[in-house]
Chain A
Amino acid sequence: MAILLNTLLMIVVALLITGVINRTRAVMAGRKGLPFFQHIYNVRLLLCKDSVYSHTTTILFRVAPAVYLAAAVVAILMIPVADLYPIISFEGDIICLAYTLALARVAIILAAMDTGSSFEGMGAAREALYGALIEPALLMGFATLAMFCGYTSLADIFEHEQSFDLHYTIVMFLVAYLFVTITFVESGRVPVDDPRTHLELTMIHEVMCLDYCGMDLAMIQIAGWLKTACFSMIAANAIAATCCFHWWFAVPLAILLTGLSVGFVESTQARNKLSRNTTFVVTISALAALIFFIGYLLQLNINI
């Protein structure tokens, strides 16, 4: 029962985050904004549409959205929601999670290159580079959790609320910050990428799906929501573990944490110049290594 609730809550988080982002942006810009569930209506509409495929593409182009979505679904099945338990949980599932998301990335990169379009090639090349450079950040984040909590499975790491401990709180907040930043990169948001831009030359994630339409595009968008939900749930779990470790606290936290921060950054900051993106992404990885080191020092102190 708890397992089903866990999955259900993950889906709820995935569906709501985009709405919160849109609403935050609208409020900050002084607009009324779209209806809260507009993005879901849009995807429902896409699911009912006809399709056009390019002559250049092969079967890979048609299978890729399925792989992308399947990988994202498997990924959310591994994420615990605070005190609940996920469907897939085993020792080392953090590694499996990172590589399942990498599988999703490869599928979409290959699909983009399959069209033979130079614009989609640009997007694919950028996604491949940023994906490569963000990988260390993700795994170092997990390593910090593993070192500090003594487990290599997400469900075990976030198993129970700790009694208040300053070191633990510091590390958990740092890790949460790290995962929110990773969300910016992985889900293609400002300052790395701007989903609203209308110039293909500067897009990353959106430009890779230029040739998709109808159901394929819907599948890609759903997978994108699920991916975002994964990272924001981990961040929320890290914070919840320090104060109030219950699903009814972690779920709104996950939605608001990512929703508000992404919305806020998107309304206040311009996107990076593309050549600065590499530095930005590498900085996140360096930050992850630093957080690991801080965690290491704090942990040494506890043992003494």
Chain B
Amino acid sequence: MFYLYLLIALAILAAVIFSAPLRLKVWMALGAVGIIAIASVIPAIGVLLGGRDVMIVAMQSPLFGAEMLAIDPLSAFMLIIISIAGIATTLYSRGYLEHYLNKKSSAHISLHYFSLVVMVLSMMMVVVSSGGFSFLLAWELMTIASFLLILFDAQRAEVMRAALAYLVMMHIGFILLVAGFATSHAICGSANFADLPLCFAQGKTLLIFVLFLLGFGMKAGLFPMHVWLPEAHPAAPSHVSAIMSGVMIKTGVYGVMRVLMNITASADLYAVGIIILLVGIVTGLWGVILAAIQNDVKRILAYSSIENIGVIFIGMGIATLGQAAGNSMVATLALCGTLMHIFNHSLFKSLLFFGAGNLYSQMHTTLLDRFGGVAKSMPVTAVLFLIATVAICALPPLNGFVGEFLIYLGIFNSVRDGVSTLAAAGALLSLALIGGIVVLAFSKLYSVVFLGSPRDHHVAEATEVDGCRIAAMVIPVAGILFIGIVPQFAVGITERVAMQFTLAAKPVINSIAGSTLVSISLVALTLIILTTLLYLWKQRKQRNRVVEQGPTWGCGFTSPNIRMQYTGESFAEGLESIATSLTQNTVEGRAVGKSEIFPSAHNYNIRHKDKVDRLFSAWWMEMLRQINKRIMRLRTGKINHYILFALVFLVAIFLLSILNII
């Protein structure tokens, strides 16, 4: 019955969006997303503030038996993330799609908005479903909706290729998930997440966990299944990247968490914790190093999403190890940090993608080395992007710091209390390295795009974007500042969710980290106030002095020009020289030779491709090509051969059935 209602609701939605006038479609979509968001956020807040779990609907599924949709704290937490990102994304899409309105057909635009709403709806359904059929249905709906969203610019060949690669990879993941649910159904007669402990009691924990980890990891972008991310994001429109990167990949993390919270035996927890930690470390390091050496704004952001998923998994791994050792303090701190980071990442990553969208729509490129000095032509975008940059580098006083701080605190407590010390030390080492390289990646991104002088006349002539997009970007900024400066409230909420894992009876975060959180907000405020005071003091002093403007000091060189500025490529050159083994470089054109005294015009283009990506495509492609070639040998084009094949086939069937093989 539920599915019938769902179908009717989708049909009405489609009818409304498709029949609305061209310019009103966005408002229809925004209205729909708004209604869904409000309807889900109100019960979610109730659940998070300590109420009971809310049951939405119970039903009988055709495949796996009884299922239901219900909101528990983890679902409620995800619902809030999805709602915020959904509203911001839809609002942003108005300005971003403005100049496509004349180019694309009305049906095309309608389909886009319809998919957007379906995507938000299906993500919500994913996080409230109890598992089994309804979960898989919502998951598939989410994949198809996001596929359609990526495909917006389908006439570009690379968009088509990226979208198809995405679709194929998601379905491999989907098959693994089906296998996971089917296995658990076969073992204990239920495919609900809540019944997983029964299956785990049978001793097949690792098998089921790894199946789910692979299935969900495909969506989350775990190494080496991340290859779709850096292709799909540059291809998709920016607001779609924002919601995909900010929220959709988190549904993969959500799935892993759902499975994880049902594992109770400590030996299993230990093994699982080590797996999660290792996966997190590799994903994080791979993502961040590749992010730092990319030269395309959206590609950097995509790799940085991979890195953040890595950080989230590191936190989750530490929490699991803490749980396995029965150290609830480590588990609580690391889990709160993990959940906090999930929320934070959805805020600053959507903000960054919105910023990238502003750049693309005003300058029609996302190549890093075309920009320069955008801060002068688009000051508001520059400020908002700077906030997101500082937040993603996890620097105080913004929200990124709070999440990573809690993960670090979990690790330090783990080291101190001797809870798998060496694993925790490994996590610390990689997290610190990740943190350092993120700073490199994002200072490169920000400074090459927004600072310096424009390298291109399009860039110099760009104008600021419309108010609607700015309004959409202010939504995440508000969250970033609020969590950064007053972390207590948000951390309290995450603890309510973490209690589902640690099974603690009452919140403990205030007793173990309450004063620390207060101190963090004090440090944040001190930093802000001190900076303001120092700046004002300087301004005041300078009022009575001569303050001149002049050209940048050229170190004695009298005619420096714009093209001598440091580019993205040169900024990351040092890191590249260490990380050569991770990438496959493709070079077009020719560099200026050392013997050329008067160099002529050169065209030089270098792209750092992911080695995993190449490995995957090369391996699959080559194998398929070989098989194809062998099979093609049978296609001789002679009718007598074909009759022979038919005869061989019949004889084979005959023999096999006589021998009772088929």
Distance between Cα atoms of A62 and B566 in the complex (Å): 20
- Distance of A181 from chain B, by nearest CB (Å): 16
Q: Which residue numbers of A lie inside 8 Å of B, CB to CB?
A: 47, 49-58, 60, 62-63, 65-67, 69-71, 73-74, 77, 88-96, 98-100, 102-103, 105-106, 109-110, 113-122, 124-126, 128-129, 131-136, 138-140, 142-143, 146-147, 150-152, 200, 210-211, 214-216, 219, 275, 278, 285, 289, 292-293, 296
6 closest Cβ pairs, A-B complex: A121-B566, A132-B436, A113-B447, A135-B436, A116-B452, A90-B519
Q: B405 an interface residue at 8 Å Cβ cutoff?
A: yes
Q: A67-B527, A116-B562, A132-B440 are in contact. List 7 more A-B contacts (CB 8 A).
A: A66-B534, A106-B395, A110-B446, A113-B451, A129-B574, A140-B428, A211-B553
Q: Is the CB of A51 within 8 A of B548?
A: yes
B contacts with A: majority SS: helix
Contact of B413 among A115, A152, A200 (CB under 8 A): A152
Write the nearest CB–CB distance from A65 to chain B, whole angstroms: 8
Distance (whole angstroms) from the CB of A198 to the closest CB of chain B? 10
- Cβ distance A141 to chain B, nearest Cβ, rounded Å: 10
Compute how far the CA of A289 lies from the CA of B412 in the bound complex, rounded to whole angstroms.
Answer: 15
Q: Name the contact of B447 in the complex, choosing from A91, A95, A109 (C-beta under 8 A).
A: A109
B543-558 contacts to A (CB < 8 Å): 545-555
Q: Which residue of B lies closest to A130 (CB)?
A: B574
Cβ of B303 under 8 Å from chain A: no
Q: Is the CB of A96 within 8 A of B396?
A: yes
Are A95 and B515 closer than 8 Å at their CB atoms?
Answer: no
- A56, B552: Cβ atoms under 8 Å? yes
Whether B534 and A92, one on each chain, are in contact in the complex, defined by CB atoms closer than 8 angstroms, is no
Chain B residues within an 8 Å CB radius of A128 = 439-440, 443-444, 571
A243 to B435, CA, bound (A): 35
**Number of B residues whose C-beta is below 8 Å from A?**
84
B-side contacts of A96, CB under 8 Å:
396, 405, 519-520, 523
Of B15-23, B369-377, B468-476, B499-507, the segment with at least 4 beta carbons within 8 Å of chain A is B369-377
CA gap between A119 and B566 in the complex, in Å:
8
User: Once the chains bind, are B425 and A292 in contact (CB under 8 Å)?
Assistant: yes
Q: Chain A at the B interface: mostly helix, strand, loop or mixed?
A: helix
Q: Please name all residues of chain A whose beta carbon is closer than 8 Å to the beta carbon of B535 when the two chains form the complex.
A: 62-63, 66
Residues of A within 8 A of B538 (CB): 62, 65-66, 215-216, 219
Q: Once bound together, how far apart are the Cα atoms of A53 and B571, in whole Å?
A: 24
A-B contact pairs, 17 of them (CB 8 A): A54-B550, A63-B531, A66-B531, A88-B526, A96-B523, A102-B393, A103-B395, A103-B396, A110-B451, A113-B448, A115-B553, A118-B566, A124-B443, A133-B436, A136-B436, A146-B415, A215-B542
Q: How far is the CB of B390 from chain A (nearest CB, A)?
A: 7
The 8 Å CB contact of A67, one of B513, B531, B553, is B531
- The CA-CA distance from A133 to B94 in the complex, in Å, is 42
- Asked whether any CB of chain A lies closer than 8 Å to the CB of B522, the reply is yes
Tell me the complex Cα distance, A99–B446, Å.
19
Contacts of A110 in B (CB 8 A): 443, 446-447, 451
Q: How far is the CA of A97 from the CA of B549 in the complex (A)?
A: 36
| Chain B proximity of A150: nearest CB distance (Å) | 6
| Contacting residues, chain B, for A200 (C-beta < 8 A) | 555
Residues in B neighbouring A293, C-beta threshold 8 A: 425
- Closest approach, in angstroms, between the C-beta of B42 and any C-beta of chain A? 35
Q: Residues 526-538 of chain B: 1 if any A CB is under 8 Å from the residue's CB, otherwise 0?
A: 1100111011001
Least distance between A296 CB and chain B CB atoms (Å): 6
Check A147–B523 contact: CB distance below 8 A: no
